[in-house]
Amino acid sequence: MGFGFIIFAGAQLLRLPMASESGQSTSFIDALFTATSATCVTGLVVFDTGTYFSTFGHWVILVLIQIGGIGFMTMATLFALILRRRISLKERLILQESLNQGSIEGLVRLVRKVILFALAIESVGAVLFTIRFMFDMNIGQAIYHGVFHSISIFNNAGFDLTGDFRSLTGYSSDLYMNVVSMGLIILGGFGFIVLADLFEIRRKRKFSLHTKVVLSVTALLVVSGTLIIFLFEFTNGRSFGNNGIGHKILISLFQSVTTRSGGVTTVDITEFRQATQFFIIILMFIGASPGSTGGGIKTTTFAVLVGAVLAMIRGKEDVVLFRLRLAQERVYKAVTVTLFCIGIVMLGTMLLATTEDAAFLTILFEATSAFGTVGLSMGLTGELSFTGKLTIIFLMFIGRLGPLTLTYALGPKPGRMLYRHAEGKMIIG
């Protein structure tokens, strides 16, 4: 309900004539789409953000991105702390689910760290971007663009002000811009729990299992993604052109990183080979990590699924990661999340295939990008019908909330089991 209220409030503000550069009112469905994309930190747009919206519209989008990225409950807790209001037990329990924590202990302290980390990283990113933009524009515009892009990219929102739907294609060979952007995407995709763990490594002297899994799986996906994209596109003159091998590696690395839920790109995705586009769909479906600004089934879910498969192949009963056994409940949760997400993406894809006239891979790409709150597009978003826009809005909203959050909110509350059924045998595989 909180996210829904923020989205509708943002849509009303974006409908105002002062929010558009032309001074004309934006239709409700387009304003709602933009507000949902910003609040759900996705980045899919029906209008070019840099040229269509005014400065007022940009700031509305930026505020929505910040609230959506940090999280509605985190922002609500922040305002409660500012007003010196006591956080109730019920609010702590909701906050626990919002931040994917195992207990309510130290939640308020974690919220303070979340706000501190976000503002600190965004501030550093804004300074670094401003320095680069000063070579292309006056200092006022450079600061404005630096702040906007830092907040947008750290929160994995994918909105940009470069104009003409270009994203960062003008900086594909700029090592400085690539490194800063990838750094912000990765830090935003780690999740605030991991950032807190990294910050306290000197005191704790060891990482938690969660942090180990997030760091290792993220590194694995980024490296393997870079390698596969590089191999698939190496001879593709339409995407990589006649660039040198170093430039091609940089492009491959950036595309691999941005699938974590970044949403910005340095090349035209539509020029990739179909095999590359399908591989990007897989990476977008996995997404970022729990408690982060990104979407997808999350890196930890992927790790548990792989661990379960390996355990089954080896004939082991327990799923073991870094010499620690996982509770069976965690494995069930990972399977549930994955199947739920596959079902939602399939439903969204079927609806879009019914209402939109486009190739199936393009539709699947757009649906997965929306659900994973990634924001990469193959050009379908700008041509969506009214029903198609509603479908993408639904996918973005569910993707940001998370399927289990929605299930827990709308489903029946579990009661105590008074009995167990007799065990049955069934052939699998």
Question: Alpha-carbon distance 256 to 228, whole Å?
Answer: 9
Selected residue with higher pLDDT from 377 and 103:
377
Both tokens of residue 87? 């956080």
> 10 pLDDT exceeds 80?
yes
Burial (Cβ within 10 Å: 0-12, 13-18, ≥19) of residue 188:
buried
Give the model's confidence band at 81: pLDDT under 50 very low, under 70 low, under 90 confident, else very high: low
In a domain, 429, yes or no: no
Query: Tell me, what's the pLDDT at 139?
Result: 93
Angle at 292 between CA 303 and CA 64, to 5 degrees: 150
Instruction: Collapse the DSSP code of 53 into the 3-class scheme (helix H, G, I; strand E, B; otherwise coil) and give the result.
Output: strand
Q: Give yes or no for a contact between 38 and 107, defined as CB atoms under 8 angstroms apart.
A: no
Q: What are the tens digits of pLDDT across the range 177-194?
A: 999 999 999 998 888 788
Selected residue with higher pLDDT from 258 and 92:
258
Query: Tell me, what's the pLDDT at 208?
Result: 85
Burial (Cβ within 10 Å: 0-12, 13-18, ≥19) of residue 329:
exposed
Question: Alpha-carbon distance 54 to 52, whole Å?
Answer: 7
Instruction: Collapse the DSSP code of 325 into the 3-class scheme (helix H, G, I; strand E, B; otherwise coil) and give the result.
Output: strand
Q: Give yes or no for a contact between 155 and 66, defined as CB atoms under 8 angstroms apart.
A: yes
Query: Tell me, what's the pLDDT at 408?
Result: 58
In a domain, 7, yes or no: yes
User: b/e for 139-150, b at 16 or more Cβ within 10 A?
Assistant: eeebbbbbbbbb
Question: Alpha-carbon distance 399 to 345, whole Å?
Answer: 10
Both tokens of residue 105? 């202990």
The total number of structural domains in the chain stands at 1
- The average pLDDT across 342-360 equals 94
In a domain, 423, yes or no: no
Cβ neighbours around 133 below 10 Å, total? 20
In a domain, 99, yes or no: no
Question: Alpha-carbon distance 194 to 81, whole Å?
Answer: 23
In a domain, 422, yes or no: no
In a domain, 368, yes or no: yes
Cross-strand pairs, 337: none
In a domain, 100, yes or no: no
> 154 pLDDT exceeds 60?
yes
Query: Tell me, what's the pLDDT at 425?
Result: 80
Q: How far is CA 65 from the centre of its chain?
A: 11
Both tokens of residue 39? 């609040």
Instruction: Collapse the DSSP code of 75 into the 3-class scheme (helix H, G, I; strand E, B; otherwise coil) and give the result.
Output: helix
Tell me which residue range forms the domain holding 113.
Answer: 2-91+106-405
For 181-235, give the secondary structure using H, E and C. Answer: HHHHHHHHHHCHHHHHHHHCHHHHCCCCHHHHHHHHHHHHHHHHHHHHHHHHHCC
Q: Give yes or no for a contact between 69 and 293, defined as CB atoms under 8 angstroms apart.
A: yes
Lowest mean pLDDT among 195-199, 201-205, 351-355, 403-407: 403-407
Q: What are the tens digits of pLDDT across the range 86-133?
A: 666 666 666 666 555 555 666 667 777 778 888 899 999 999 999 999
Question: Alpha-carbon distance 200 to 44, whole Å?
Answer: 36
In a domain, 424, yes or no: no
- Write down the pTM of the prediction: 0.89
414 phi and psi, to 5 degrees? -65, 140
Cβ neighbours around 79 below 10 Å, total? 9
Question: Alpha-carbon distance 60 to 349, whole Å?
Answer: 30
Cβ neighbours around 159 below 10 Å, total? 30
Burial (Cβ within 10 Å: 0-12, 13-18, ≥19) of residue 96:
middle
Q: What are the tens digits of pLDDT across the range 28-66?
A: 999 999 999 999 889 899 999 989 999 999 999 999 998
